[in-house]
């Protein structure tokens, strides 16, 4: 049985696994992401050797989803706002030292978008915008039934569209990006600013407090939701997509974030365009990236 391996590097965890031809997971696991690039490459090598030992089947290709903008021509991550050790690192030579089968690299959110498109909530659509909201905001775009990479590979960075011109400095170099306004750290910042305290707390705890009716917690989500709505209306007016899929840990907050977002989308996008776009939750959870990366490798291999 032909199998495909996928790796998805996030700020906190490296997720990996094997899938079959239909995108079904044969096995998957995760480990903490190392901070240093040398440790990361060493870890990838160890995992790869383990996968081969564990699975005697025919692993045809490997897909990698890395955070940051990936240059198609140079085959490297040019700039990774949340994993700067990847910046300009020569990934292909390092990986080809130990991976004997064809492998492909791309941006992590593009891979997750591709996973949702192929075997998640995006199946069957021709156009879609995928957003994952966690410690950062990743996104990927499907247009005319294909992953849209742009001229050099940098497309789909809705997370770094400006939604608040006076907002905070973003790791990408700009300010007031969708990422700086709606990601988990910002929800915590909103909450602390509103309750005028700076005690350490997680976005998950802010969510729990919102559920109990904590006014500052509800407002923290509502403010982030406002900016999410601004971002989504840009996507709707620009692309008139069939679907927008929202995933990532912050989306667990559900209507606390979504209601204010939709209120804003209604005000800011063409109603006709809004009406023909379905906004839904992504369905593959944190496995979208590794499934998508493996399927991307499979699809690209079949086109060679
Ligand atoms: Zn940014």
Mean pLDDT by 10 residues, the chain (304 residues): 95 94 94 96 97 89 96 93 93 96 96 98 98 95 97 96 96 96 96 90 96 97 98 98 96 95 97 97 96 96 78
What local confidence, expressed as pLDDT, does residue 1 receive? 86
Q: Give the C-alpha distances (Å, rounded to integers) separating 235 from 49, 59, 83, 286.
A: 41, 37, 26, 23
Which has the closest alpha carbon to 202: 185, 178, 180? 185
Q: Which listed CATH number (1.10.10.10, 3.60.15.10, 3.30.565.10, 3.30.420.40) goes with 124-283?
A: 3.30.420.40
Strand ranges (E), 33-118: 58-66, 69-71, 76-79, 103-107
* pTM exceeding 0.85: yes
Give residue 275 CA to ligand 1 midpoint distance, Å: 29
Instruction: Answer yes or no: are the C-beta atoms of 278 and 235 closer than 8 Å.
Output: no
Packing angle of the helix pair 203-211, 184-195 (nearest 10 deg) = 60
Can you read off the two tokens belonging to residue 163? 């939604």
End-to-end C-alpha distance for the chain, whole angstroms: 20
Determine what percent of the chain falls in helix, strand and coil, rounding each to the nearest 5.
45, 25, 30
**CATH 3.30.420.40 residue ranges in the chain?**
2-114+286-302, 124-283
Residue 1 to residue 73: CA distance in whole angstroms: 32
Q: Give me ligand 1 centre to Cα 173, in Å.
A: 6
Residue 174 CA to ligand 1 center (angstroms) comes to: 5
Taking the centre of ligand 1 as the mean of its atom positions, its distance from the CA of residue 158, in whole angstroms, is 9
Ligand 1 mean position, distance from CA 190 (Å): 18
Query: Do residues 293 and 106 touch, judged by C-beta distance below 8 A?
Result: yes
- Least Cα distance to 288 among 120, 139, 52 occurs for 120
Q: Which residues surround ligand 1, an ion (CB under 5 A)?
A: 160, 170, 172, 174, 177
Cα 16 to averaged position of ligand 1 atoms, centre (Å): 27
Could you tell me the distance, in angstroms and rounded to a whole number, from the CA of residue 22 to the centre of ligand 1? Answer: 35
Q: How far is the CA of 279 from the centre of ligand 1 (A)?
A: 23
Q: Please give the CATH superfamily to which domain 2-114+286-302 belongs.
A: ATPase, nucleotide binding domain (3.30.420.40)
Q: Distance between CA atoms of 178 and 170, rounded to whole angstroms?
A: 9
Distance from the CA of 71 to the center of ligand 1, in angstroms? Answer: 18
Tell me the Ramachandran region of residue 75: left when phi exceeds 0, alpha when psi lies from -120 to 50, beta otherwise: left
Q: How far is the CA of 3 from the centre of ligand 1 (A)?
A: 36
Separation of CA 116 and ligand 1 centre (Å): 24
**112 CA to centre of ligand 1 in angstroms:** 19
Q: How far away, in angstroms, is 11 Cα from ligand 1 center?
A: 15
**CA 300 to centroid of ligand 1, rounded, Å:** 29
Question: From the CA of 141, how far away is ligand 1's center (Å)?
Answer: 17
Q: How far is the CA of 185 from the centre of ligand 1 (A)?
A: 14
Residues 6+ apart with CB under 8 A from 225: 182, 256, 257, 258, 259, 260, 261, 263, 264
Residue 161 CA to its chain's centroid (Å): 15
């Amino acid at each position: 049985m032909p199998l495909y391996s996928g790796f998805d590097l996030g700020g906190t965890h490296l997720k990996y696994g094997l899938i079959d031809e239909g995108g079904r997971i044969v096995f998957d696991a995760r480990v903490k992401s190392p901070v240093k690039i040398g440790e990361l490459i060493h870890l990838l090598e160890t995992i790869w050797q383990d996968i081969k030992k564990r699975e005697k089947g025919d692993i045809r290709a490997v897909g990698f989803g890395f955070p940051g903008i990936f240059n198609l021509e140079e085959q490297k991550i040019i700039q990774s706002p949340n994993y700067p050790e990847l910046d300009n690192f020569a990934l292909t030579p390092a990986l080809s030292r130990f991976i004997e089968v064809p492998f492909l690299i791309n941006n992590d959110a593009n891979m997750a978008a591709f996973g949702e498109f192929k075997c998640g909530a995006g199946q069957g659509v021709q156009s879609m915008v995928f957003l994952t909201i966690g410690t950062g905001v990743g996104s990927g775009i499907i247009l005319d039934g294909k992953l849209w990479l742009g001229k050099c590979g940098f497309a789909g960075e809705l997370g770094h569209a400006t939604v608040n011109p006076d907002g905070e400095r973003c790791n990408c170099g700009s300010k007031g990006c969708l990422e700086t306004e709606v990601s988990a750290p910002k929800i915590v910042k909103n909450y602390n600013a509103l309750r005028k305290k700076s005690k350490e707390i997680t976005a998950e705890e802010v969510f729990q407090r919102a559920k109990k009716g904590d006014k500052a917690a509800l407002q923290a989500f509502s403010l982030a939701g406002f900016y999410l709505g601004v971002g989504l209306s840009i996507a709707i007016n620009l692309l008139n997509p069939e679907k927008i899929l929202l995933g990532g840990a912050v989306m667990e907050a559900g209507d606390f974030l979504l209601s204010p977002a939709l209120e804003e989308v209604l005000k800011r996008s063409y109603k006709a365009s809004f009406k023909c776009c379905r906004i839904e939750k992504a369905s593959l959870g944190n496995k979208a990236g590794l499934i998508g990366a493996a399927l991307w490798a499979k699809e690209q291999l079949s086109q060679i």
